[in-house]
Amino acid sequence: MIKLTDLLRELDIRKGNLGQSFVNDDQLRESFFYNFDLMVDDNSPVDESKLNYNEISEVGDYKMIDPTDVIGNTKYLVKPSAKTWKEYIVGSVDVEEVSGKPYGLKGGQIVLTYISKPYRNQGLGALMYYMVLVHYENLFSDNILYEGSRAIWTNKIYPATQLGGFFGIETGGFYAPLTLEDAKNDKIMKMQDVVSYIASTNPSPQMIKLQDYLDGLSLSKGEYGIYTYKKSSEEFDELVSDSESLEDVMTDPDMIYHDIVANANPEAILVKASDVLFIVTKDMDLIPV
């Protein structure tokens, strides 16, 4: 059971109100020195040859590194051009490795981030999210998104997936693509069936197919909707073949409506029948995903 005090501390961190009794710049550096087995002072000159690390990512003036001699989830954002260790250690991010996701996806989920005071309000928290996405290729949000972290997802992560990538939600054992407007829509992310955001720079073939057929269609506006069919995939195939329109399919008594339904004149619907996910277009094309 999570203690209330622990939860409140975590809420403060995620909102950016970092309680000094819980984590601060000194503790960030102490953690860094401990994990890299350094016996140095904050103001000692930087000597990267003393560090054993894996480089996660490098963007501009910053690198994200992972200590090779420590088993853990914490990565560090550093500034190689810094003169002292105090300037070198910019921040940290805790990343949980995720597996067992739909379509066999593996990736990372950011749990906590911290940026030292001199480097705040420079977009470096967003940069850490981006670096984690680039490294893991698939990035999953957790099921609690606060204003600051959600803004990073919509303002930084979403654009990073728009050239051959995928941005959407996990729901019902599959993924559904989102427009930027959808991603910012509170109603969608609060729906019971929605597990998390998913961002990918290397989407699976199934995700590419979803993107190809549903790209640009708004879930929040009902330009496509999500449904479950009670019977088998073969029987759903027959239903679509016997139907003259999407309305005929959507109003079939064996179709289960979820929170995310199509409008009166959708471009497509996404339907799970047994273990098969189908896209049905306005032209009544049936595409198994």
Residue 14: per-residue pLDDT: 41
Residue 145: per-residue pLDDT: 67
Contacts of 96 (CB under 8 A, 6+ apart): 73, 108, 109, 111
Structure confidence by residue, pLDDT tens digits, 61-88: 999 999 998 888 999 999 999 999 999 9
Asked whether the predicted pLDDT for residue 147 surpasses 90, the reply is: no
Residue 16 binned pLDDT confidence (cut-offs 50, 70, 90): very low
**Residue 206: closest CA among 289, 86, 84, 89:** 289
Structure confidence by residue, pLDDT tens digits, 212-257: 999 999 999 999 999 999 999 999 999 999 999 999 999 999 999 8
Residue 9: per-residue pLDDT: 42
| Cα 146 from Cα 152, distance rounded (Å) | 10
Region 260-276: mean pLDDT is 93
| Cα 14 from Cα 146, distance rounded (Å) | 7
Residue 187 binned pLDDT confidence (cut-offs 50, 70, 90): confident
Lowest mean pLDDT of 10-24, 237-251, 260-274, name the range: 10-24
Share of the chain above pLDDT 90, in %: 80
Average pLDDT over the chain, rounded to an integer: 90
Residue 72: per-residue pLDDT: 87
Rounded to two decimals, what is the model's pTM?
0.86
**Residue 198: closest CA among 149, 220, 165, 228:** 165
Q: Of residues 149 and 167, which shows the higher confidence score?
A: 167
Asked whether the predicted pLDDT for residue 17 surpasses 50, the reply is: no
Residue 10: per-residue pLDDT: 41
| Cα 140 from Cα 110, distance rounded (Å) | 8
Task: Determine contact, residues 81/112, Cβ cutoff 8 Å.
Answer: no
β-pairing, 107-115 vs 138-140, is parallel
